[in-house]
Structure 1
Amino acid sequence: MTVATTTPPLATDTVGRPSLLVHASDNVRVALRDLAAGTLIEDGDTSVRLVEPIRQKHKFALCDLQVGDTVTMYGVTVGRATRAISAGGAIRTDNLAHSTDSSGDVVRREHWLAPDISSFADATFDGFHRPDGQVGTANIWLVVPLVFCENRNIEVLRQSVAEALGDDPYRDYKRMARAMLRGESGDEGSPPLSSPFANVDGVRFLTHHQGCGTTDDDALALCRLLAGYITHPNVAGATVLSLGCQKAQIAMLKQAMKERDPEGLRPVHYLEQQASASEDALIREALTTIFDGLHEANKVERRPAPLSKLRIGVECGGSDGFSGLSANPVVGATIDRLVALGGSGILSEFPELCGVEHELRARCVDDATAQRFADLMEAYQRHAAAVGADFSMNPSPGNVRDGLITDAMKSAGAARKGGGSPVVEVLDYTEPATRPGLSLLCTPGSDVESTTALAGSGANLVIFTTGLGTPTGNPVVPVLKVSSNSDLARRMADIIDFDTGEVIRGEASIDELADKLLQQCLDAASGRYTTRAVSLAQHDFIPWKRGVSL
């Protein structure tokens, strides 16, 4: 099989329509609202009458399907019928199984039609310029444990620093609890204290459950991930706590640091508890490094930077049946604009690229890049099979409930976050992105593990799409949350930054919203807009454990 170098455009016009045919070659449609049995769906010369109610976001067959027939959406295979499905019948888990068709030769796409970027031709963002040439969208001092044994000391430091700086993100909740205990309403907020470090976005304290009792590969991967965070453009410097006897040794982290920062430009302080006189001495020394670091970090101010210094990671979580129609394509169009302007994007979650591998390989800039993507995908699938798992197990109950019946269906929509620009490099977990343009990063489909990895590979901003609502954030990178539907944006306004529901209602085009989203990204990167995840102190950090516990 040969894959065409171009494909028909995906439909986006939803004005007044009860359903949508996403791609001209699809044999299912998506219900844009709840549809009653007997509803006549007309599209040009064809029509189908629904034989049962179809819920909003779910799919229905356009023709009679027999057992084994292919179901196509987004122009790709998303499953095979396990039961006969009548035209106008709902697509469900009891009549469709995950299936893909990515075999055959791939013809590389030689040309990419870049979007109109004239309105951003002179755009910059205000960032923190680092000695190694990177530019941060935030200015943070990082406190890192090498092993889970130090999590308690990390928490002691977190509370102590928050108290000293008047920067406790949970102060209002604590006051609320005290008031409720006394039988008071506890509704009045308290103003935050002003920070003495005007140019610093705060101190971030990582905790995790790795560093010992794991395979050597996992210990090394942890050190490489932590090195990615310490050398991140949003990080001014770091304090590292080690117990001393764990598998993830200070020497391993220093080697990983040398790979990322060969000139040693990033200030890092390594403290080992088993070599310290006491816990009190350890905490005192750690606090000294933190406050000294803050004083130095505060000397750096935001200055204009070209968009070539902006690298946006794209992620999705709590996806629904509209995510692939609104939020994800809007984000993809935003990434295309950034790439055309000289910037970079990173697309991750390899289990959610299952079924569209041939399209991504066709977009790779050369054979070696395409082959590396294929090799990493195959290795991931083999490892999953070895532990009794499969990519087909990826959709969550929430995904399925809202219309994402198979992993292939979910993947076809999720991949749209990467837009259509050429793939310039393929990265394994913890590898840094180095080239301008779109990169593919091998991560799991788990929201927090993947977002953690995006930051570790150098994304200095993350766009996160959701249809069901998820509060995921990151310790060092602003995460901008994009909803696929306006109902979610209204219900969970405290976690949503940008709403693409207008696409579903036919009130705005993908291109119009992509221009607006890119501008909001520049505002977030410049500190002019504070994302909801940052406001909520959503500092999620979970390293990917690829091996097994020992």
Structure 2
Amino acid sequence: MGSTSYLQIHPADNVLVALKDLPAGNEITADEVCFTLKEPIKAKHKLAARDLLEGHDIIMYGVLVGRAVAPIPQGGLLTTKNIVHASNSFSVQERNLAWEKPDIAKFANRTFSGFHRADGKVGTANYWLVIPMVFCENRNVTILKEALVEKLGYTRKSIYQEKTAVLVELYQRGAGMEAILQADINTNSITGQVTPRLFENIDGIKFLTHDMGCGGTRSDSNALCGLLAGYIAHSNVAGATVLSLGCQHAQVDILKEEVEKRLGVFKKPLLVFEQQIEGTEEQLVNEALKQTFVGLVAANQQKRAPARLDKLCIGLECGGSDGFSGISANPAIGYTSDLLVALGGSVILSEFPELCGVEQDLSDRCLDETKAEKFIHLMKTYNALAEAGGSGFYANPSPGNIKDGLITDAIKSAGAAKKGGSSPVVDVLDYPEFVTKPGLNLLCTPGSDVESTTAEVGAGANIVLFTTGLGTPTGNPISPVIKLSTNTALAQKMPDIIDINCGTIIDGQETIEQAGERILNYVIDVASGNVRPKSVELEQDDFIPWKRGVSL
């Protein structure tokens, strides 16, 4: 039930969502009862559909999302002062695998143009990686970056360098601080590559620095090896250069074992250089430069060719969420997810703290009890670890989330889970495991945007769909991250980072299904290299491995 200004998401809900700013005096109809608002309600926020007493359950999306800690009159605003997080218990129960497959007739014969790998996977891009096994090698990775990127034509001209030049000139001419602050430094220059690209079939060389590999727990260093192996084995990667100090916890032989787990027989170039064997920095870098260059020459021989859509593996992510996320962009990519699953492709739903409150539904959708038990175990142990550290899943919403209407973790989670559509769960993966089955996969990661996106790509996602209500520039070094806004205002405010506007659903211009099909068409264009998402254009190469301690 709803109108153009408010919405009841599920028939069982006792709260409504404001789709527009609702002034005091606005007439609302809920459960066939008409009443008048006594206070204004901002768009994206929730109001009580009926009188709620202290202790009453708050139901939204048809599930328990909170509990009233103070009376809330009909039409009253839900806030962090009058409700707290609450969610239902969950356990392994009967399977619920029935789902209504979407009509895939429009996409059944579609293909994308990708890079075919020896293991049968198909990449949506073609990158070379340079990776340190330990933070001690970050400097040498940076040296290789300085040596390779500009000379091979992967440096892009920055308008901000020209803006700085204007400020330098003003300063040198004796301009005062006020004059510098008032100066117009806008420029009409167009960003682009400084020199022509030498290897036209290689999208870039990516350098993945990090602060791990030694000094932490062995489980973290082993997980790092698994994550890096996922990136090396990734369909978007042609080969890799690995720098090792030699004495660190994250040993090269562990990395190679993890690569074999993911690919079996490994047929990509994997160049390993150990500083404590090579000797001087110059000896290490000289050898790495020569062998990497030869590897690039070979990788450049690979070209795009048609591939079926079942070769796509899409990561489903959200960040900077708002009160519209669960009713526009998230269900839209949920429909895209269902389309791809019906076509034989793979999708990854992660961010386990943001599945709090919908555990029973996802558990019931697992193909068998073993997978359901694994999912429940991961959820319970993760939350227990967070609580032991003085937090818990209830602490997941950020100040920005709360300000824009996501005031409990369960409200946020119930909307976030919509990204996973309605198909059965074919597999449950613990970080940093690799996707091996077509269909909907659950991957244990934190809710933190970059850590989760990093993990999804490490699990095999060759494109990521990332919804946002507040705006975030998150990207990834090797997989295109497509940014979808939940509301039109954001798409208009931040067009430099938003690729697709799903605010059209809130505005009544299209249905969730229509938006989902539009998104899949865009995905095909990106996968074929015909369109570069804003995060790729901006070279937003975010890479943060998850330290398994507590990160929500």
TM-score by length of 2: 0.94
Q: Residue 81 of structure 1 is aligned with which of 48, 59, 68?
A: 68
Task: Please say if residues 132 and 141 of structure 2, whose CA atoms lie closer than 8 Å, have aligned partners that are also in contact.
Answer: yes
- Contact (CA 8 Å) 2:8, 2:16: kept in 1 or not? yes
Q: Which residue of 1 aligns with 2:406?
A: 404
Alignment of structure 1 residues 362-373 onto 2, 5 Å:
362-373=364-375
CA distance in 2, matches of 1:127, 1:498: 22
Asked whether the equivalents of residues 323 and 465 of structure 1 are also in contact (C-alpha less than 8 Å), the reply is yes
SS where residue 119 of structure 1 aligns?
coil
CA contact (8 A) 1:215 1:547 kept: no
**2:9 is aligned with 1:22:** yes
Residue in structure 2 matched with residue 8 of structure 1 by the alignment:
none
Match of 2:249 among 247, 250, 263: 247
8 Å Cα contact 2:476/2:543 also seen in 1: yes
Structure 2 residue aligned with 1:313: 315
1:535 aligns to what?
A: 537
Local SS of the residue matching 1:405: coil
1:47 to partner: Cα distance: 2.0
1:260 CA displacement = 2.0
Q: Cα distance, 1:18 vs. partner?
A: 1.4
The 3-state SS of whatever aligns with 1:305 is: strand
Deviations 1:501-548 (A, max 9, x none): 111011110111111100000110110110110000000000000148
Q: What does residue 210 of structure 2 align with?
A: 208
> What CA distance in whole angstroms lies between the structure 2 residues aligned with 1:190 and 1:369?
48
> Is 1:470 matched with 2:475?
no
Q: Which runs of 5+ in 1 are unaligned?
A: 1-10
d(CA) in 2 for partners of 1:296, 1:28: 59
**Which residue of the partner structure matches residue 121 of structure 1?**
108
> Which shows bigger deviation, 180-189 or 407-416?
180-189
Could you tell me whether the CA contact under 8 Å between 1:214 and 1:547 is conserved in 2? no
What amino acid sits opposite 1:382 in the alignment?
A
Is the Cα–Cα contact under 8 Å of residues 156 and 191 in structure 2 kept in the other structure?
A: no
How many residues end up aligned between the 2 structures?
536
The equivalences for 1:276-291 within 5 A come to 276-291=278-293
| Distance in 2, Cα, partners of 1:401 & 1:376 | 30
Q: Deviations over 1:90-118 (max 9, x none)?
A: 00000110000133663322421101111
Q: Indicate the residue corresponding to 1:136 in structure 2.
A: 123
Identity of aligned residues (%): 53
Write out aligned runs for 1:50-449 (5 A). 50-103=37-90, 106-169=93-156, 171-183=158-170, 185=185, 187=187, 188-189=189-190, 191-192=192-193, 193-449=195-451
Q: Following the alignment from structure 1 to structure 2, what is the Cα–Cα distance between the partners of residues 437 and 95?
A: 40
Aligned with 2:54: secondary structure? coil
Deviation of residue 287 (structure 1)?
1.7
- Secondary structure at the residue paired with 1:520? helix
1:186: Cα distance to partner?
Answer: 6.6
Deviations 1:433-486 (A, max 9, x none): 111100000000000000000001111110000000000000110000000001
Asked whether the 8 Å contact 1:175–1:186 carries over to 2, the reply is no
Structure 1 vs Structure 2 CA RMSD: 1.6
Q: Secondary structure at the match of 2:150?
A: helix
Distance 1:363 1:259 in 2: 27
Whichever residue aligns with residue 237 of structure 1, its letter is G
C-alpha deviations, 1:297-341, integer Å up to 9, x for none? 110000011111111010000000000010000000000000011
**Cα deviation, residue 365, structure 1:** 1.2
Q: Which moved more, 1:110-119 or 1:346-355?
A: 110-119
Aligned CA distance change for structure 1 residues 186 and 403 (closer, same or farther; 3 Å): closer
CA separation in 2, counterparts of 1:242 and 1:311? 30
Q: Does 1:502 align with 2:528?
A: no
Q: Residues 170 and 247 of structure 1: is their aligned pair in 2 closer, same or farther, counting only changes over 3 Å? A: farther
Distance 2:236 2:515 in 1: 27
Partner of 2:181: none
- In structure 2, what is the Cα distance between the partners aligned to 1:178 and 1:160? 24
Cα distance in 2 for residues equivalent to 1:176 and 1:238: 36
**One-letter amino acid of the structure 1 residue matched with residue 487 of structure 2:** N
Does the 8 A contact of 1:169 with 1:536 survive in 2? no
- The separation in 1 between residues aligned to 2:269 and 2:285, in whole angstroms, is 19
Residue type of the alignment partner of 1:505? D
Q: CA deviation at 1:423?
A: 0.4
Runs of 4+ in 1 over 6 A off after TM superposition: none
| AA partner of residue 404 (structure 2) | D
TM-score after normalising by structure 1: 0.95
8 Å contact from structure 2 (residues 156, 192) kept in 1 = no
Hey, what's the Cα distance between the residues in 2 that align with 1:185 and 1:83? 53
Listed as ranges, the matches of 1:450-465 within 5 Å are 450-465=452-467
Inter-partner Cα distance in structure 2 for 1:158 and 1:396: 35
- Do the aligned partners of residues 396 and 485 (structure 1) sit closer, same or farther apart at CA in structure 2, a change above 3 Å counting? same
C-alpha distance in 1 between matches for 2:326 and 2:135: 38
Rounded Cα–Cα distance in structure 2 between residues aligned with 1:186 and 1:284: 41
Q: Which segment drifts farther, 101-110 or 50-59?
A: 101-110
Give the Å deviation of 1:44: 6.5
Q: CA deviation at 1:176?
A: 3.2
Distance across 1 between alignment mates of 2:107 and 2:523: 12
The CA distance in 1 between the partners of 2:201 and 2:417, in whole Å, is 37
Q: Is the 8 A contact 1:224 1:253 kept in 2?
A: yes
SS at match of 1:324: helix
